[in-house]
Amino acid sequence: MSIKIDSLQVNIGEKKLLNNIHLTIPPDKLTLLIGPNGAGKSTLLKACTGDIAPTSGYIRLNQQPLHQYSAEQLSTLRAVMTQDYGIAFSFTVREVVSMGCFVYEQQIARSERECIVDDVMRFMHINTLADRQFTTLSGGEQQRTQLARVLAQLWHPYTHASPRYLFLDEPTSSLDIFHQYQVLALAKQLTQRNIGVLAVVHDLSLAASFADHLVLLEKGNIVTQGKPADVLQPHFLSAVYGISAEFFQHSEKFKPSVIIKETMRA
Amino acid sequence: MPELTTKSPLTPTTFNTQQQAIPFSLGLLLIIAVIALAVGAVPIPISEIFSNIINGSTLENTYSTLDNTPSLNRIILFDIRLPRVVLSIFVGAALGVCGAAMQALFRNPLADPGLIGVAGGGALGAVMVIVLSNSLFSQFTQTVGIYALPLGAMLGCLGVCGIIYRISHHQGHLTVMTLLLAGIAVNAIVGSLIGLLTLVSDDSELRELTFWTMGNLGGNHWALTFPVLCCIGISLFGILRLAKPLNIYLLGEYQAQHLGINVTLLKKQVFFFTALAVGAAVSISGMIGFIGFVVPHLVRLLIGPDHRFLLPTSMLFGAGLLTLADIVARVAIIPAELPIGLITSAIGGPFFLAVLYKQAIKISQ
């Protein structure tokens, strides 16, 4: 049981956004997508969530074709955090996070839902902001609020027999360094609860530190995929990003990182 | 780590305001309704209203007094004032709820039901009946009798809403942006058609259609009112059930979809129920501006955007405000009446400005 992507192709008009993608997202792994701007990372993620229909090829979620699921069925199997999340009206942080409980609202008592909301807000360190209006928050605080909402969706049942999935499109783009590492550490924890995580990140060191499986995309193709140490090789980095850089780990005590010698492209 | 387990779900103030808004607005509506039954060209004492309603609440009883001649007050109460008050409550409720639903659908606090063509379509239908009833539509007017004007307005509403719907509907999806732009374009076309008909109308027709566009709740007996009440009742029930999905929808269309909401179906339901409710309201009362826009806006400022509270409170508050406006319309220049559309704008406008001003002061502090 996993998400299996087979010969996936996505076109918009004449333009090929994704080409011949083969990828498996297992429920016990943190899979990270990296690649330069416009490589097709978000498109791949949106295809997996069902927001974009494939032009050709297949996506199977737990062995069933993705398009055969209803929105309601999918909502119990996966949660999604998108890049843009404008909220038109002034909901409080607690109200926004509570919306994540919509999926199982009928199944559990109000007090239990409140506990879940408290839990995830504490997790994302936004419990002190609970009664603030979402629109008055800083970018990072808004992002953490949305993350808390997405987590709430997967908080009940806490563990599930059939695998579930979490999709995060640049979840760390507005976060400070502490919260960047915290969010990915949390994503990694989720994989122990039978939740497969697919996330887009830009920071290569962050990717090196956390990915179980790293996928490098360029111009709609997968250049290489595998363990971070194998993917973040100098020849791949120079070919895709135009940087001269290396995968580096000081010792077991330190997280690995990508160190840059120089940028080659103007 | 701060201890949070004993914390109440919302701050006491927000929670209490939301909880109290519905009973408060309901109480306000009831008081206004009783006053509306009491005042008018012939004042009826409140004690008499209550004894009439408690003792003989059906129309048949009105005529079965001992001497077989019903008191004048009873006739005024049951045949004139009660239908009017009930109508104003339903029309106000429809405008309030549909305004809130439209603002959610467009995810924009400036939206109002007019955007999907209900007002313009209704006006076009009504103007066609008024101006062409003696020529082109004489057959129609003769067949349906007193129903000609409301029926024409309702058909105009549904026709124009239908056109706007068809334009914005592609491959099973209803695109909100197209809906907005199509609404503006179709409303402009409808406006020019109305202008054209105005041009060929004579003086009395011109007067009638001018007054129609300013709204009027009077002169409708139960036979005319009842179908309207049914349409509005069904729609209100339908929209109130959508409160939770509409909350989630405000997160964004994709986000709502990810949380398991059939967004396309939700949008279609909001569109349909709004067209039906406001179409029915407009068909009998003419154009009553401002309530659909200002009431939900005002309620949202007071209790926040949660539709579980916003929709019922907007409904009750809209009903109360329109009934209040109708009292003013009836008593301001007895024995004549003011068009109610003028009053809603005259009361609602300054009230809204006062609230905005207060908000601005609050923010700047």
B6 pLDDT higher than 50: no
Q: Looking at A10-14, A201-205, B16-20, B253-257, which range is the least confident one?
A: B16-20
Q: What is the pTM of this model?
A: 0.88
Average confidence (pLDDT) over B304-315: 94
Q: B147 to chain A nearest CA, in Å?
A: 41
Question: Taking CB atoms and an 8 Å cutoff, what residues of chain B touch A151?
Answer: none
Closest CA to A149 of A109, A100, A91: A100
Asked if A75's CB is within 8 angstroms of B258's CB, the reply is: yes
Q: Report how far residue B125's alpha carbon sits from residue B156's, in angstroms, rounded to the nearest whole number.
A: 4
CB B42 within 8 A of CB B76: yes
The answer to the question of residue B14 being in a domain is: no
Higher-pLDDT residue of A61, B132: A61
Q: Count CB-CB contacts under 10 A for residue B31.
A: 12
Q: Which of B9, B248, B252 sits opposite A102 (nearest CB)?
A: B248
* The pLDDT of residue B2: 39
Percentage of residues in chain B having pLDDT higher than 70: 91
Question: Taking CB atoms and an 8 Å cutoff, what residues of chain A touch B7?
Answer: 118, 130
Task: Determine the structural domain holding residue B169 and report its residue range.
Answer: 80-364
B3 pLDDT higher than 50: no
Total domain count for chain B? Answer: 1
Give the chain A residue whose CA is nearest to the CA of B301. A90
Which tokens in the block code for residue B262?
């059939």
* The pLDDT of residue A17: 94
pLDDT-based confidence at residue B109 (cuts at 50, 70, 90)? confident
**CA atoms in the 13 A half-sphere facing the CB of B219:** 13
Give yes or no for B13 touching A (CB within 8 A). no
Question: Taking CB atoms and an 8 Å cutoff, what residues of chain A touch B108?
Answer: 88
- CATH number for A3-263 (one of 3.40.50.300, 3.30.450.20, 3.40.250.10, 3.40.50.800): it is 3.40.50.300
Positive or negative, the Cα torsion across B87, B89, B93, B95?
positive
* The pLDDT of residue A119: 93
The answer to the question of residue B230 being in a domain is: yes
Asked if B10's CB is within 8 angstroms of A131's CB, the reply is: yes
The answer to the question of residue B40 being in a domain is: no
Asked if B7's CB is within 8 angstroms of A128's CB, the reply is: no
Beta bridge partners of A168: A81, A199
The answer to the question of residue B11 being in a domain is: no
* The pLDDT of residue B258: 95
Higher-pLDDT residue of A232, B42: A232
Burial class (CB in 10 A: 0-12, 13-18, 19+), B202: exposed
The answer to the question of residue B45 being in a domain is: no
Average confidence (pLDDT) over B278-295: 88
Average pLDDT of chain B, as a whole number: 85
Q: Which of B9, B109, B247 sits opposite A99 (nearest CB)?
A: B247
Q: Report how far residue A224's alpha carbon sits from residue A232's, in angstroms, rounded to the nearest whole number.
A: 9
B64 pLDDT higher than 60: no
* The pLDDT of residue B12: 47
Give the chain B residue whose CA is nearest to the CA of A154. B259
* The pLDDT of residue B14: 58
Q: Which residue ranges of chain A lie beneath pLDDT 70? A: 265-266
Distant-in-sequence, close-in-space partners of B110: CB < 8 Å, separation ≥ 6: B103, B293
B57 pLDDT higher than 60: no
The answer to the question of residue B162 being in a domain is: yes
The answer to the question of residue B312 being in a domain is: yes
Domain spans of chain A?
3-263
Asked if B1's CB is within 8 angstroms of A122's CB, the reply is: yes
Give yes or no for B108 touching A (CB within 8 A). yes
Write out pLDDT tens, residues B158-207: 999 999 988 988 877 888 888 889 988 998 999 999 999 889 888 888 88
* The pLDDT of residue A266: 52
End-to-end CA distance of chain B: 32
Positive or negative, the Cα torsion across B273, B278, B280, B281?
positive
Closest CA to B284 of B92, B34, B41: B92
* The pLDDT of residue B68: 53
pLDDT-based confidence at residue B56 (cuts at 50, 70, 90)? low
B355 pLDDT higher than 60: yes
Q: Which of B1, B244, B257 sits opposite A71 (nearest CB)?
A: B257
